[in-house]
Structure 1
Amino acid sequence: MRQILIGDVIAAARSVLNVPRDVRARRLVQLLDQALVADKVTKRTGRPHFAWGNGSLMAACPQRHHKDAPPLAEQAYLEALRDTIDQVILWKQRDSSQTRHHG
């Protein structure tokens, strides 16, 4: 998967902002996994994945936001950002662990 940048975190948080908290983690892992698959497709074919883009987390997010991000004072947005960062950390730990055991 391409390197995760702050814009990716913001895009992912915005895409799960209205997802219920009890399923948000699962949705974020799904986005991370989709970005990984898209990156592999892009590297193999030289073209972006038809649905998940070029391998960036931002490209895997289903909604493109044309308005500004919510203010950081908004509790729900802060929670979505926190949940996104938490899942990125866990996903990277899982990926690192699998790499050590399988490669």
Structure 2
Amino acid sequence: MSRRRRRAQYDSSPNYQAKCQELLRTAADVFKEKGFEGITLHEIAERFETDRASIYYYFASKTGLFQAFSTTSWLMFSMRTSRLPRASSSATTTQPESCAASSSNR
């Protein structure tokens, strides 16, 4: 399965990317409702109207899915706040270390 997942990621077809983004949105809703510890991949799969094995096509684990969700959330937050006026020039913005790692784990 991991070979198939890697091949799909490198292919990056529009269909693969669209399904992956749809899965992330669905998972985000479930993570927000129940938290990381409160859910299983089975619950996410049910909400996504698929089976758990299909989720493994896109993500290696619940942790990998959560990291992708976190990275996406962080990037959206950063993009929104970058348009706001700065309070002072001494404020610094740092990204979590997992940002680069989570995209490679998918």
TM-score, normalised by the number of residues in structure 2: 0.35
For the pair shown, which has the larger CA radius of gyration, 1 or 2?
Answer: 2
TM-score (norm 1): 0.35
